[in-house]
Chain A
């Protein structure tokens, strides 16, 4: 009930391609869905977040798509760049924030 399932575990994308990371949840009480980006040896930083009353949110090359009925949300990175190579975590909140297990993204130059 409290889990956030993230896939894939790792992803390799060519430069200029679209990177897609998916997350699924069961708890309908979740009211906030952030994505965090983490570079090696650093702490995660908030990248983009969405609330369940919105189906899509875009910030630059990063877009969250949210499907409330399917209980799924995804991160799309358009025109992926080598600098986007990092680990990405989805998360969801009711009274606590629950993190997915992360996706290690590598963009080939």
Chain B
């Protein structure tokens, strides 16, 4: 049963703490993405990775970090430098279509709340 899993579903963090959100896919997709969703803001790209051991900043990368050590995994760390981290975080993956991003397959999301 192929798909994308994100954990945890809900996460609470105290101000000043770093937290790491997990994203795993067994679709054998080359590319993986992290988006942030806020009400009325749509989906904003944080980071993306088209190949293992390589990743690029998206539109709102400040205060976030990622790694891509395995094809299946693309964890996102929300650092204390992120000023407003409370949001719904979505991980996605796609086949690398060569000429552009392929269809995005999304995980179920992690809702992060800073207390």
Q: Identify the A interface with B (CB < 8 A).
A: 6, 9, 31-32, 34, 36, 41-46, 49, 89, 93-97, 99-102
How many residues does chain B have at the interface if contact means C-beta atoms less than 8 Å apart?
19
Least CB distance from B76 to A in Å reads 14
Interface assignment of B41: CB less than 8 Å from any CB of chain A: yes
Contacts of B104 in A (CB 8 A): 34, 36, 44, 46, 97
For residue B88, which residue of chain A has the nearest CB? A41
From the candidates A9, A31, A34, A43, name the one contacting B40 in the complex (CB within 8 A). A9
| Subset of 23 A-B contacts with CB under 8 Å | A6-B42, A31-B100, A34-B104, A36-B104, A36-B106, A41-B108, A42-B109, A43-B4, A43-B106, A43-B107, A43-B109, A44-B43, A44-B106, A49-B103, A89-B42, A89-B43, A93-B100, A96-B100, A96-B101, A97-B101, A100-B42, A102-B40, A102-B42
> Given known contacts A96-B45, A101-B41, is B100 in contact with A43 (CB within 8 Å)?
no
Interface assignment of B90: CB less than 8 Å from any CB of chain A: yes
> Given known contacts A43-B90, A44-B90, is B103 in contact with A34 (CB within 8 Å)?
yes
Contacts of A32 in B (CB 8 A): 100
From the candidates A36, A41, A49, A101, name the one contacting B109 in the complex (CB within 8 A). A41
Bound CA–CA A83/B105 (angstroms): 21
Closest 7 CB pairs of A and B: A43-B106, A101-B42, A99-B43, A99-B42, A97-B101, A44-B106, A43-B108
Least CB distance from B27 to A in Å reads 13
For residue A43, which residue of chain B has the nearest CB? B106
For residue B43, which residue of chain A has the nearest CB? A99
Contacts of A93 in B (CB 8 A): 100-101
Least CB distance from B93 to A in Å reads 11
Bound CA–CA A4/B103 (angstroms): 17
- Asked whether A42 lies within 8 Å of B108 as measured between CB atoms, the reply is yes
Bound CA–CA A44/B92 (angstroms): 10
Bound CA–CA A49/B99 (angstroms): 17
Bound CA–CA A94/B99 (angstroms): 8
Contacts of A36 in B (CB 8 A): 104, 106
